Each structure stands twice: as C-alpha cells, then as structure tokens.
Amino acid sequence: MFRSVSLRFLRKKIPTKGKIAVRNYTPRRALLYVPGDDKRKIHKAFGLDVDCIALDCEDGVAANQKAQARTTIREFLDIGKPKRTKAFDLGVRVNSIDSGLCHEDLVSCLTGRYLPDTVLLPKVESSEHLLWFADEISHLIRREDHINLIIYIESALAFVNLFDICRTVRQLSKRFSFEPVALVIGSDDLLANLGAMRTEDSKEILYARQKLVLAAKAYELQAIDMVYIKYKDLDGLKQQCEEGMRMGYTGKQVIHPGQVPVVQEAFLPTKAQLEWAEGLLQSFKEHQKTGKGAFSYKGSMIDMPTMKQAENIVKLGKLGK
Amino acid sequence: MFRSVSLRFLRKKIPTKGKIAVRNYTPRRALLYVPGDDKRKIHKAFGLDVDCIALDCEDGVAANQKAQARTTIREFLDIGKPKRTKAFDLGVRVNSIDSGLCHEDLVSCLTGRYLPDTVLLPKVESSEHLLWFADEISHLIRREDHINLIIYIESALAFVNLFDICRTVRQLSKRFSFEPVALVIGSDDLLANLGAMRTEDSKEILYARQKLVLAAKAYELQAIDMVYIKYKDLDGLKQQCEEGMRMGYTGKQVIHPGQVPVVQEAFLPTKAQLEWAEGLLQSFKEHQKTGKGAFSYKGSMIDMPTMKQAENIVKLGKLGK
Amino acid sequence: MFRSVSLRFLRKKIPTKGKIAVRNYTPRRALLYVPGDDKRKIHKAFGLDVDCIALDCEDGVAANQKAQARTTIREFLDIGKPKRTKAFDLGVRVNSIDSGLCHEDLVSCLTGRYLPDTVLLPKVESSEHLLWFADEISHLIRREDHINLIIYIESALAFVNLFDICRTVRQLSKRFSFEPVALVIGSDDLLANLGAMRTEDSKEILYARQKLVLAAKAYELQAIDMVYIKYKDLDGLKQQCEEGMRMGYTGKQVIHPGQVPVVQEAFLPTKAQLEWAEGLLQSFKEHQKTGKGAFSYKGSMIDMPTMKQAENIVKLGKLGK
C-alpha cells in the first residue's frame, strides 16, 4: 500500500561536492538615467561610482532628439565600456514598444561593435510585448551572445498582468538570448494612469509597490524602487530608500548624480544580513567536507536560491568596504 | 537579417486630422441611492444637482416592498427623465443575480417606454454572472438600443475574480447592447464577508480598495469609492473623498442628499489637472494644423486614452463653474 | 421574447424546513506549536486550555531530531487524544514537500491506531504540491476516514499562486479524504524570501496579509495570522491580535503557552457580533415556522454561508463563558 514517491518537483538540490553554479551577480543599488543625446552628461556619469547607468532614449530625451540619442549612444557603445575600478552595469533604455520607436532603438544599440550589458524596456503591459521583444532579439543578437533585460511595470494594465508577464519572460529566456534580471516600478506613469496623487509615504500605490516585490522574488528578479523626485532632499531620499528596503526592494532609480551615494549606502546589506550570509557560506564549506544528505543552517533547510542570496549579500557587502 | 516589424499591438493612434472620437462622458462624482418604493424621495432627488441617481430595488428596499419598488420605478421611467439644466445619469440598481429577484427587476425596468441610462448590478462575483446578465440583455433590449452597466464588487470571491470579471465584461460588451462604465466597491458587504471591522482610515481593506482602482483603470472604467456611513459628519466625508481621490477614485456612493455637495466639490479636478488638460488639448489643436508623426506634450508621447482623459477633465472642470 | 431564466448558479439556498447542515466547526483561535521530539512539552500542552495544538516535525525540530520527532508523535497518536473538558484540534505539522522529508512524516503519523484531526502542510507554493499531497493521502488514508488540512502560505511564489492553490484544494477535496480548513500566513519565511524587514505594524507585508484573508474567505477557509515573536510582550501581542482581527483573521499562531490566553480572549466574538448572530438564528427559527420564500434579516437576504457564520459565532461565544 505504501510506495516510495518520486518527488518530481523537489527544489533544485545543492550539490554536496564541488562549486555552486551561481549566475554572475551585478548589484544595481542605484540605477542612474543619463539622457542619450547628452555627451557631456554621459562622460560625467562614466566617472561616477554607480552600480548601473542607463543611457536613455525614452522619457529623458525630447521627441525631436530621438535620432540624435540613438547616434550618440551608438558611438559610446562602439568605443566600448570604460575601464573602472568597480564594475558597473551599462544599459540602454529604449522607447516603449507601443511608441513605434523601439525597433529602431534596438537596431541601433544592438548592432554595433559591442553590446550593452542590459536593455531596459519601458511600459511592458502584457505577454505579447515580451513576445515582440523576443522576436526582435532573435533577429538582432547572435545565439551565442547575451543581454540582460530590465522590465518596467508602470500602468494599471501592467500591474493586472504582472504575474503573467513574469511567467512569460522566464519561459522566453530559456529559448532566446536574453536574461530577465529586474523589475522596475514606474511610479510616475502609474500615478498618471491611475489619476492618483503622490503623497510623502506613497500609501496610494502601496498595493502596486508590494505586488511588484512579490512578483520579483517569486521569479528571482531584482526589485528596483521608484524615483524620488525631490532630488535636493537627501534626507527624504534616504527615508524612501529605507521604506523600499523594508518591503524587499534592493535598488532604486536615480535621476541626479547627487542621489547616488545616499542610495548606494542605504542599500548595502545590514550587519545582521552579512553575518547570516557569511555564517551560511562558512557552514556550507564545512558541510561539503563531511556532510551527507540535506544541508541545514540555524535550523532551516537550505536550498539553492537561499545559497545564491547569501553569496549575493557577501558580494554586495564588499562594495561597502 | 533586419526586417521591418509590424507593430500589431500599437496603442490606438490619434488621428492627425479631424475630430477625436471620444465616447460620450458622464461624470459620476456622487452616486446617490434613492429607495425605489419612495415616490417622495425620488421626486426630491430629481430636484437636486447630483451627477447620478440610482433608483434602488436592492438594499434600500425591504423584502416585502420589492414589487412596489419595481412598479414605482417603472412609472417614473415611463414618464421619462426630467429636464434639468445639468445633465445627470439615471440608473436602476436591481437586486443581485443570486437573490433570484434580478430577472423580474430587469424585465420591469427595461421594457417600459424609456430605458434608464444605466443598470447597476450588485454582488457580481464571477464571469458567469456577466454571461447571465448578457443573456438577459439580449432578450430585453433591442440591438440598436443601449444601456450602461455599473458593476458592484463586494465580496472576497468577487475580489479574487476581479480581473477576470473585467476582461469578460469588456469582451461581452462588444457583442451585446451594454457598455460597462464603472466599478463600485461595496465596502459594507465586503467587511461583513471578511468578518473585518470598519476603522476610520479603512486600512483593513486597503488591498481591496487599491486593487479595484487598478482593475478599473486597466479596463477604462470609472472607480467609485465606498459609502461614508456617518452622514452627518461632513468633515469626515470630505477627508474620505480626498483619500479615495489620492488613490484614483473619481466618484463616491452617497446615501443622503446632504452628502452630495461635499462629494461633488471634492471630486472636481484640481487646478493643476485642469491646466495640464487644457494645455494638452490646445497643443493638440496646433499640432493638427502643422504636425506630422507622433504627438508629444511636455515630453510625453500622447495616446488616445490620455487624450480622452484630458477631454474628460476639461468637461468635469466646467461643472465647477 | 421573455423567458423564465434558470438560475443555475444561485447560491445554496437555505432549506425552509428542517435542520441546517453545518459542517462541524472547530475554532482555532490559538494554534500552538509544540516540538514533536519533546515529550515533556507535549504533555504540558495537553493540559492547557488551547483550541489547537500542532505537534511539530518542521521548524521546531532540529535536522538530526526528525526521526525522533516522528517516533514520539506516533506514540502519542497511538495512545489517542486525551479527554478534556473543552474539545481541541490535534494536528501534526509535517515537513514541507520540497524538503524530501514529508512522505516519511505522513507515513508515520497517518498509519497508527488513531489519525490526528489535522495535517498542517508548510510551504505550499503551487497546485502541484497539492496534487502530490492528494496522491499521498489516497495511499495512506481509507476512503471512509477523513483529515483536515491546514495550508501554509509563506513565500513570494506561494502568494503569486494563492488563488490557484485555493481553487485546486477545493476541487481535490471533493475526490480525496481531506478537507481544507485554514490558510496560515508564514510571515517569517515570507520576510526572509522577500528580503523584507519586520516592523512593528507589519506594513511591509500588508499586501500579503490582506490577500490571504480575501483568499481564505472566498474559499470558506479560516485565516490564521502571523506569529508574534516577542513572546514576553503580551500588550504587543494583544495589539497585533486586534490588528489581524480587524482585517478578518480569526486565529493566530502561538509559540509559547503564555501567549494562549491573550490570543484566545482577543479572538472571542464582540458583543455586537454575538447579538447579530443570536438574533439571526432566532429570526430564522421563527421564519421556519411561518415563512415562505427568501429569508431576510435586518434588511439583508441571508444565504447559507451567512447562516454558518452566525452559528460559528454563537459557538465561539460559548467558549468565552
């Protein structure tokens, strides 16, 4: 009557011997926008200590400057990413699919001498948008190449379809040369779409902000928080960083270089998080020498995603030193 | 290798020449309930300056007065809507489908000399409810006639099925003679269903209240906020209006004529909203004379829904004068 | 042109004559965990006035004590549930399906002389988990036997899939020998999975906490609230009980015997709830003697779920006397 049951849907187990295969991790505590048509600002951004720079074709560029932005960005990409002490993520934010400008943006930024690390795709509202994007990528990038994808969720419809969007992008990424890495909440567009009004504690979009974190974590994506528009108010910025962090955000959009240090400091792991992560990795090392069976730490069974999280925290912690 | 891509799912573009086809817009800042069996109150309501009047067959009418309410409402409908300086929306709130009373209500109010503008359908919980309603409408209203539909979301199950309900009603409205125009949050029934307790800031139903706004905006419906039950407390009422407005609600249910002026004042557009909308329409006029290609305003690409929103704000603004 | 319409999806009507068939109701105001490998603590718990005891195989038991916990729990089950003045629910919390330990836990606790009342299944993340569980039950329990199932929702993915999980478990329970009775929010695991931080008012997981209540009520399950970890702070505990109650939670997880009386007192029905429920049942009795057609109370049409709710409130009220 009792049979042994095959646990087909067991979580990915941790190999008891050998190295853990952890996807290369780039923290994006601050995601800084720079207008794609402004050479001076791009040069300046390259000199900053910032985790992620988005060369912007979209909202930061006037309608009659779109072609100029494409050309300028392409020139920078053809030179190649500048060498810096600390690595950074170099992305291009293209125009939204529905704008009719996205195809030309992609052609321009993906057919040069070097690829950007990441494409940032605004106003994704449905699975169909991602199918369109995958189709573009299949024509523009060789199978053996690879880019990251950051998805903007910034309308009511996008939030309605959010879980579908995540499921679809995870499936598509298995067959196409892109890897989804983060979700961004576009709070200004969302507020406009809802006819809602910005308040200091953002209570009016609490549902949206927390739904995005859940979706991100469920599909192993980074959750990147809203812009703090009062760019001179660094105390307010810090508070909003911490508010987002408490919900699970690990990065924030930044519209001014002066916001970068505050944001990158705020999103460093706490001392307790660091201790937990370092202890876990240490304990795993010891377990690998002697242990058999499941690996547990402080009473919890540890699985692959948790191991990855610990590695990421330790890496992130090093940025603060 | 690079093909030109057909953007099949581009948003509806704005015609560069000619008039914009904007669906006739009725604001429903205040939605006032009047018991369907009370002639005196109905006469009184017709004399008020109120955006929307719902002649009630449901909660405002005792179980043994349901037939009386049907007869009375039918008499008023047969006379026709009273002439007033300001237009208003005249609706009938029927009993819920599950009550077993809805069919008779619909037969009574949809087969007279004149149709009401709107049917208000309480306790919609699933797509099946809407299929039932569409089937009724197909038998009661001629193809060339037309009514509006306002949907009540007021139970846990309804909130679970909310996005499905919206998708279904949008699809059905293409084939049947009704047009969904608004979602209403039935907070009292929801609280009872949840076993939750009303507090002053309604924190206990924040999830539901914000989910409804998202669904409404995603499917181009008006979001109508909860009843403020302490009908003598006009300051509290004003505060709750503003709280709802900040989330994106543009109207509110009203149970007493004394609440109407406060609510209709609170839901007028702000000065900033008016300026934005008037500027956008002005700019569009100029663009039509000279412009080619996409139309942008203050750095944003403008699409049809945004144009409609601007027109509605300007219309609404005129009510405040 | 007008036909009589068959209301196939009418809510279950109340029989006008005879007894109402109400599923046997066990309140679970406090759900107390006891480590399954600790005989002394189990004996002590059996002496407490507590609604529900969960003999724990999972987080309360160290990895190298899992076998010991199984043996100990089995011994207690073979003796049979202790006789007490007030009935209580005796459950076993097994390890999660993905841990690889769940099958042995189930075999051990479901094949003894007596069944526990309830199995508590942690870390349910998808419909597939429930299919696995149903398959286990079909091999371990005879068709004519029956256990309750309490489901833990404690990761981002579980919250993404929450409505699916509820739909699936309701369908499966029609064909298999288990009955879902409650959803539990595992807030500590959720916080860890989100990388979120605990604050006093739990604002960071408000979305999750309210989504769980909605799902529970939509599928007629009890909603059981988060653990209050500061077990010596009974004032804080009381406040968090009331906070949960206002959202619709009717029970709470408890990690220390000292928390039980505070929790069980807090989750008694209020005076107003009791009066409503007793009035409803009284009115129903009178209606049964004379009434025809629909049954209404205080102006509301009453359906089966509402009758059940009233009966449960009255039963619960008796516990406070």
Are C262 and C241 in contact, with CB atoms under 8 Å apart?
yes
Chain A interface mutation, best of B247, B276, B287, B302, highest count of A Cβ atoms under 10 Å: B247
Q: Do B246 and A204 touch (CB under 8 A)?
A: yes
Catalogue the active-site residues of A.
303
User: How does pLDDT run across B53-91, given as a tens digit for each residue?
Assistant: 999 999 889 888 999 999 999 999 999 999 887 889 999
**Residues of B with Cβ-Cβ distance to A132 under 8 angstroms:** 5, 7, 9
User: How does pLDDT run across A158-168, given as a tens digit for each residue?
Assistant: 999 999 999 99
Instruction: Please determine, for residue B3, whether its predicted confidence score (pLDDT) is greater than 60.
Output: no
Instruction: Please determine, for residue B319, whether its predicted confidence score (pLDDT) is greater than 50.
Output: yes
User: Given CB atoms, is B127 within the 8 Å cutoff of chain C?
Assistant: no
Say how many Å lie between the first and final Cα of chain C, rounded.
59
User: Given CB atoms, is B199 within the 8 Å cutoff of chain C?
Assistant: yes
Give the whole-number percent of chain A exceeding pLDDT 70: 89
Note the Cα A151 to chain centre separation in Å. Answer: 8
User: How does pLDDT run across A114-153, given as a tens digit for each residue?
Assistant: 999 999 999 999 999 999 999 999 999 998 898 999 999 9
pLDDT category at C8 given cuts 50, 70, 90 is: very low
Task: Report helix, strand or coil for B304.
Answer: helix
DSSP codes joined into one string, B63-119: GGGHHHHHHHHHHHHHH-PPP-SS--EEEEEPPPGGGT-HHHHHHHHHSSSS--SEE
Overall average pLDDT of the A17-25 stretch: 46
What integer pLDDT is reported at residue A9 of this predicted model? 40
Q: Do C5 and B63 touch (CB under 8 A)?
A: no
Given CA atoms B43, B46, B49, B50 in this order, what sign does their dihedral have? positive
User: How does pLDDT run across C273-300, given as a tens digit for each residue?
Assistant: 899 999 999 998 888 777 555 677 876 6
Are A86 and A47 in contact, with CB atoms under 8 Å apart?
no
DSSP-derived letter for residue C203 is G
**Beta strands B147-153; B178-185: pairing state:** parallel
Q: Tell me which residue of A226, A197, A230, A204 sits closest to B273, measured CA to CA.
A: A197
Residue of C nearest to B137 (CA): C2
Length of chain C: 321
User: Given CB atoms, is B157 within the 8 Å cutoff of chain C?
Assistant: yes
In this structure, what token pair is assigned to residue C255?
């990690």
pLDDT category at A293 given cuts 50, 70, 90 is: low
User: How does pLDDT run across A74-117, given as a tens digit for each residue?
Assistant: 999 999 999 887 889 999 999 999 999 999 999 999 999 999 99
Chains near A with 3+ CB pairs less than 8 A apart are: B, C
Q: Compute the distance between CA of residue C118 and CA of residue C92 in angstroms, rounded to an integer.
A: 6
Q: Do B98 and C11 touch (CB under 8 A)?
A: yes
Q: What phi and psi values does residue B31 have, to the nearest 5 degrees?
A: -115, 105
Residue of C nearest to B106 (CA): C2
Q: Compute the distance between CA of residue A133 and CA of residue A180 in angstroms, rounded to an integer.
A: 12
Question: In chain B, which residues fall in CATH 3.20.20.60?
Answer: 30-265
Task: Report helix, strand or coil for B39.
Answer: helix
C303 is known as an active-site residue:
yes
User: How does pLDDT run across B149-206, given as a tens digit for each residue?
Assistant: 999 999 999 999 999 999 999 999 999 999 999 999 999 999 989 988 888 899 999 9
Binding-site entries of A for Mg(2+) = 189
Q: Compute the distance between CA of residue B78 and CA of residue B101 in angstroms, rounded to an integer.
A: 21
Superfamily for the B30-265 domain = Phosphoenolpyruvate-binding domains (3.20.20.60)
Question: In chain A, which residues fall in CATH 3.20.20.60?
Answer: 30-267
Average pLDDT, chain C: 89
Q: How far is C200 from chain B (nearest CA, A)?
A: 15
User: How does pLDDT run across B246-304, given as a tens digit for each residue?
Assistant: 999 999 999 999 999 999 999 998 888 899 999 999 998 888 777 555 677 876 667 77
User: How does pLDDT run across C236-262, given as a tens digit for each residue?
Assistant: 999 999 999 999 999 999 999 999 999
What integer pLDDT is reported at residue B294 of this predicted model? 61
- Whose tokens are 């709470």? That residue is C252
Q: Tell me which residue of C230, C212, C234 sits closest to C221, measured CA to CA.
A: C212
- Whose tokens are 């039935």? That residue is B186
User: Given CB atoms, is B131 within the 8 Å cutoff of chain C?
Assistant: no
Q: Do A9 and C98 touch (CB under 8 A)?
A: yes
B10: nearest CB among A98, A205, A208: A98
Q: How far is A204 from chain C (nearest CA, A)?
A: 13
CATH number of C30-267: 3.20.20.60
C196: nearest CB among A163, A166, A246: A246
Q: Do A195 and B303 touch (CB under 8 A)?
A: no
ipTM value for the complex: 0.89
Give the whole-number percent of chain B exceeding pLDDT 90: 69
Overall average pLDDT of the A23-41 stretch: 88
Q: Do C126 and A218 touch (CB under 8 A)?
A: no
Residue type (1 letter), C315: K
User: Given CB atoms, is B160 within the 8 Å cutoff of chain A?
Assistant: no
A196: nearest CB among B4, B207, B248: B248
What integer pLDDT is reported at residue B299 of this predicted model? 67
C193: nearest CB among A2, A3, A217: A217
Instruction: Please determine, for residue B4, whether its predicted confidence score (pLDDT) is greater than 70.
Output: no
DSSP codes joined into one string, C48-64: S--SEEEEESSTTS-GG
Given CA atoms A119, A121, A127, A128 in this order, what sign does their dihedral have? negative
Chains near C with 3+ CB pairs less than 8 A apart are: A, B
Overall average pLDDT of the B238-249 stretch: 96
Give the whole-number percent of chain B exceeding pLDDT 70: 89
**Residues of C with Cβ-Cβ distance to B206 under 8 angstroms:** 206, 210
Per DSSP, which regions of chain C are E strands? 30-35, 52-56, 89-93, 118-121, 147-153, 178-185, 222-225, 251-254, 296-297, 300-301
Q: Alpha helix locations (H) across A3-149? A: 39-46, 66-79, 102-110, 127-140
Binding-face residues of C in 222-251 toward B, CB within 8 A: 245-248, 250
Instruction: Please determine, for residue A40, whether its predicted confidence score (pLDDT) is greater than 80.
Output: yes
Half-sphere exposure of B201 (CA within 13 A, CB side): 3
